[in-house]
Chain A
Amino acid sequence: MSILVFIEQRDGKVRSVAREALGEAKRLASSLGGPVTAVFCGASADGLASLGEAGAEKVLAATHEAFARYDGAGYAAAVAAAVKATSPKLVLFGASSIGKDLAPRVAAKLGVGLAADCTTLEAGGGKLVARRPVMAGKAFERVAFPMAPAMVTLRPKVFAPAAPEAGKAASVEALAFEWDASKPRAVVTGTTGASGGKPDLTESEIIVSGGRGLKGPENFALVEQLAEVLGATVGASRAVVDAGWRPHGDQVGQTGKTVSPKLYVAVGISGAVQHLAGMSSSRCIVAINKDPDAPIFKVADYGVVGDLFEVVPALVDAIKKLH
């Protein structure tokens, strides 16, 4: 019995969701039992022993030249082989763009259920219950796992990585798996805009979102200035995405992204039900809006009633002075 954790990499670098999953696995191992085993898919197994510092006792390395980039079918074959080799009680993935695509494939191969994008795992009496937001956070469901292993993806930024144990090395073993790369498959040929850019909304500590109150796409410069001084990522309401002011990737809400940053600043957003669903699990919410009756003030910790064209530049200046 063990807990198996999928180690996600991009460009050979282990992503933070993998450390978060290892941290949660280490925490759960005290009630579910260990050890914590990691499974890695990539082109090279170099440096994997250092995952010991993040909580892995053993790393199963599935290496293949095609694994330098994400290959859903290939990774799924490898992770399913790791499950068969270790018979874990629980398999954890980060609910990232890779984890969300990979975990269902592995679950289908194994014929077991999967709880996606979970925000809490409880293991009372050895029985696991996962809590996960549904309807973009308007409600939560708790699910149990009638089959083994339990499969779970964890929402990014919700679970804490383990305190690093400096110098602790994991044992690394090559994983045997069967996968025919010559079969027809989806091949990633490149990426656009992904390297060196700002973090994704779902992985951001601070988000500044703009809405209709900005009156036009050119005024998003104000939101961008505020985001710049805060080190934040820019988000948007559905209204301005539908109006074509911002790309869909920026949308926060029920048909966009659900976010839980440390600080969420809503600028000129009235607060439609579907928007509130996507951001009301943020730790601290600030709303700037000229309408004192706007629904956004009902979820905001701190509100400023006023003309955003005066308030936002004043806020930018005040934050600059802090540095």
Chain B
Amino acid sequence: MLQVVCIKQVPDTETRVKVAADGKSLDPAGVTLILNPYDEFAVEQALRVKEQLGAGEVVAVSLGGAGVQTTLRTALATGADRAIHLRCDTTAPDALAVAKALAEAIRPLEPGIVWLGKQAVDDDGAQVGPMLATLLDRPCVSVVAKFELSGQTAKVEREIEGGREVVEVPLPAVFTTDKGLNDPRYASLKGIMAAKKKPLEERVVDLGPAHLERVAFELPPARKSGRIVGEGAGAIPELVRVLREEAKVL
């Protein structure tokens, strides 16, 4: 079975945000780029399914500028067999444009499973997975926290408010992965060496007109500086007083 893993390169979660001069984007200066943390669970689960079946191919796909190839090499080093780079230099393209480009590249591969992280930690959209599934006309479960495959059916659990939904899904299907699904492996030195020789194909894509237009990118309003109400247990009466009388939250 061929599996596709869609991955995205994003700013590290420790990034301190500065707005670029255009007022519409993140200032890239000094930003470290990493594989989207939720995509690590997608890559790992694809590798586990391949191991379970004892056969198959895992294809990593990513859309973005030239720098994205570093992230694709990371996926190859972890165990993906080959990679497709959908080359596109648009800053922060909208989710549907990305889903359309992915669908076009993925459809001819006829994958048994397409994996994505539940959301990218930069735009927090959580849209591309369900959009891609709709465009491919495949069943989809998002925010998967548990996955079991038997034959052509997957039994999965999806995080919902205060609990989980148990879902049965016939393959081929699309899944988006949540933290806690698995413990992603690290790339071994051998894997890193092997990744250099694995095929990485670059295709230039044109996203067409935008479906959503970003008009501004800005910092959140600064919080009013608070105060230390006191030290140790002796501060509790004052804390309770201010929570009742000033903040009115008790």
Contacts and interface: CB of A to CB of B under 8 A. Distances in A.
Q: Is B a genuine binding partner of A?
A: yes
B127 A104 contact: yes
A29 interface: no
Interface stretch (B52-60, B185-193, B242-250): B242-250
A135 B122 contact: yes
A69 B166 CA distance: 11
Nearest to B135: A108
A256 to B, nearest CB: 7
Given A135-B17, A186-B141, A186-B173, A200 B161 contact: yes
A171 interface: no
Instruction: Identify the interface centre among A73, A301, A322: most chain B CB within 10 Å of its CB.
Output: A301
Interface string A295-323: 00111111111110011011100110010
Given A108-B135, A186-B140, A310-B233, A139 B94 contact: no
A189 B165 CA distance: 8
Instruction: Identify the interface centre among A76, A109, A186, A200: most chain B CB within 10 Å of its CB.
Output: A186
A134 B122 contact: yes
A211 to B, nearest CB: 16
Interface string B55-80: 00000000000000000000000000
Given A187-B167, A299-B223, A113 B243 contact: no
B14 interface: yes
B130 interface: yes
A105 interface: yes
B243 A286 contact: yes
A118 to B, nearest CB: 11
B204 interface: no
Interface in B126-181: 126-135, 139-143, 145, 157-170, 173, 178-180
A277 B87 CA distance: 31
Contact of A105 (B15, B123, B134): B134
B218 A247 contact: no
Interface stretch (A31-39, A51-59, A144-152): A144-152
A188 interface: yes
B96 A108 contact: yes
B50 to A, nearest CB: 22
A189 B211 CA distance: 35
Contacts of A145: 212-213
Nearest to B123: A134
Contacts of B17: 135, 138-139
B19 interface: yes
Interface of A: 69-70, 72-73, 76, 96-98, 100-105, 107-109, 111-117, 129, 132-147, 184-195, 197-200, 202-203, 206, 230, 241, 247-249, 251, 254-256, 258, 262-263, 272-274, 280-281, 283-286, 292, 297-307, 310-311, 313-315, 318-319, 322
18 contacts: A69-B165, A70-B165, A104-B99, A113-B96, A113-B211, A134-B122, A140-B219, A142-B215, A143-B215, A187-B169, A195-B163, A199-B161, A206-B249, A297-B226, A304-B236, A305-B228, A315-B240, A318-B237
- 6 A-B pairs closest in CB distance: A194-B163, A113-B212, A113-B211, A193-B163, A200-B161, A248-B180
Interface of B: 11, 13-17, 19, 26, 37-38, 94-96, 99, 121-135, 139-143, 145, 157-170, 173, 178-180, 209-220, 223-233, 235-237, 239-240, 242-244, 247, 249-250
